Amino acid sequence: MKIPNILTLCRLLGAPLFLWAFLSDTPFGRWWALGLVITFEATDLLDGFVARRLEQVSQLGKILDPLADSVSRFTVFLGFLTLGYADVWAIAMIFYRDSIVSTVRILAASQGVIVSARWSGKLKAIVQGVSIVVILAASCLRDRLGLNADELLTYSTTLMWFVAGVTLLSLFDYVAGNRRILAKLDR
């Protein structure tokens, strides 16, 4: 197996470990969860870079990378939802966007059409990744930051609504930017 795909698989295999650590709701678990998320984001940046640098771009990697991104981030969002760090509707908007984009890409690929990534999708990924790290870091450092449990939950749910808004905007940009491709799918 190629190095970029191994990096990508780390995100897939680490997702359940994140959930176990985060849902333990202990200081050790929160720090462990933060470390895993930082690993997720680092491997997300590294796998594509390494694949291009070592000329190890593969069909498997092209499929696994977005899958690993979705699984790892959505696992984090499920943990946030479970412990009250996010509202169900914010998480639902993120899920709907990812499901719609994935379905359109699959339909387009079945007709030999490649749907390219959009700048808004990159922005969405950055906002999601940074926000996840910020929320987890605030959870780990809550006492040092002088936050009580309710303040942390208010802060994190507000940030997650911002994430959901950026994610939804990326869906609108995706649909608008690919309207010609989408029109072909309806024929």
Tokens of 66: 């977005």
Q: Between 149-177 and 88-110, two packed helices, what is the crossing angle to 10 degrees?
A: 30
Whether this prediction's pTM lies above 0.95 is answered by no
Return the SS3 of 33. Answer: helix
Residue-wise pLDDT tens digits, 82-122: 999 999 999 999 999 999 988 888 887 777 777 777 899 99
Q: What is the DSSP letter of 66?
A: H
Average predicted confidence (pLDDT) for the chain: 91
For the chain, what are the domain ranges? 3-185
C-alpha 81/C-alpha 75 separation (Å) is: 10
C-alpha 166/C-alpha 160 separation (Å) is: 10
Residue type for position 75? T
Find all residues with CB under 8 Å of 47, minimum gap 6, and list them: 4, 5, 7, 8, 61, 65
Q: Between 27-53 and 119-140, two packed helices, what is the crossing angle to 10 degrees?
A: 150
C-alpha 72/C-alpha 94 separation (Å) is: 13
Percentage, residues of the chain above pLDDT 70: 99
CB contact at 8 A, 174 and 118? yes
Q: How would residue 80 be classed by pLDDT, with cut points 50, 70 and 90?
A: very high
CATH superfamily of the domain spanning 3-185: CDP-alcohol phosphotransferase transmembrane (TM) domain (1.20.120.1760)
Tokens of 27: 């200081």
Q: How would residue 4 be classed by pLDDT, with cut points 50, 70 and 90?
A: confident
Note the pLDDT of residue 175: 87
